[in-house]
Every structure is written in C-alpha cells, then in structure tokens.
Amino acid sequence: MLHIPSSSIRRQRGFTLLEVLVALVIVGTALGASLRAVGSLTQNSNGLRSAMMATWSAENRLVQIRLARTFPAVGKQTFDCPQGDLQLVCQEEVIASPNPRLRRVEVSVVDQANPERRIIKLVQLVLNQ
C-alpha cells in the first residue's frame, strides 16, 4: 500500500459551487436593479422634455402678447402650439383684475393626445398702456 505523507499533499484552493452560485445571484440582482433605474431615468427624461417644450410654447404666447402692446380682451381661446414632434394645445384665458389697468393672462399647455392632462400653466399680468 502506498502511503503519502499528509505534509506533501497540497490542498486545492478555490471556490465551491455554492459560493459561485451565491455570487451569481448577487450580481444578477444588482444588474436587475440597475436596469430598472435606467428605465426610470428614461421615462423621467421624456417627461422633462415634454415639460420643457410646453414651457416654451406658453412663454412664446406670453411674449407675443407682450410684444403686441395691445390690451387683451377678456375671454378664453384654444389654439395649437406644437414644438418639434410634440403636438401641444395652448389654452389661453384672460381674466379681468380688480385694477382696471391690469389683465391676468393664464396659458395652460396640454398634450393633444391627452387633453385632460395639463403639462404646464404660466400666468402673466398685462398692463394697459
């Protein structure tokens, strides 16, 4: 019988199958969480883009009123105000104020595909000059 002394046997070093599987589960969970985070950022990016373009549309209308230098008539009107590939609708309401020399102009912007969801609303006071 061949007898090998225990001091000459080198012990194998490495990972067990269980350790490898646990590491794979941890890495898989981290990758899944990062994919969800990236998806959430993409969705938020689209919302921010819509809000920015809606703000531009509302600001454009308020600047038009300012540059016209006419006192706007009290009432409501709705008109298309697209920005890029985004189809937007502007809803303008002019309201009389307690001061007869001022009018309050409110411009709300909605998405044409979802008109019940207001994206932005800007308000400006216009002075009768």
- Distance between CA atoms of 109 and 81, rounded to whole angstroms? 8
In a domain, 97, yes or no: yes
Q: What confidence score (pLDDT) does residue 42 get?
A: 77
Residue range 30-52: mean pLDDT, rounded: 86
9 in helix, strand or coil? coil
CATH number at residue 121: 3.30.1300.30
pTM over 0.85: no
The Cα 84–Cα 91 span in angstroms is: 19
What is the pLDDT, as a whole number, of residue 13?
Answer: 79
Is residue 30 situated within a structural domain? yes
Q: Which amino acid is at 63?
A: V
C-alpha dihedral (22, 27, 30, 35), degrees to nearest 10: -140
Please report the pLDDT score of residue 3 as a whole number: 66
82 falls within a domain: yes
Our count of domains for the chain comes to 1
Q: What is the DSSP letter of 83?
A: B
Task: Answer whether residue 31 is part of any domain.
Answer: yes
Phi, psi values for residue 40, rounded to 5°: -65, -40
- Is residue 11 a part of any domain in this protein? no
Please give the residue range of the domain that contains residue 31. 17-127
Task: Determine, yes or no, domain membership for 35.
Answer: yes
SS3 assignment for 86-109:
ECEEEEEEEEECCCCCEEEEEEEE
Residue with the larger pLDDT of the pair 6 and 73: 73
**pLDDT reading at 41 higher than 80:** no
4 within some domain: no
Region 78-99 average pLDDT: 95
CA separation (Å) from 105 to 2, 15, 56, 88? 101, 71, 16, 18
Q: How far is CA 126 from the centre of its chain?
A: 30
Instruction: Give the chain's mean pLDDT.
Output: 89
Flag whether 54 is in a domain. Answer: yes
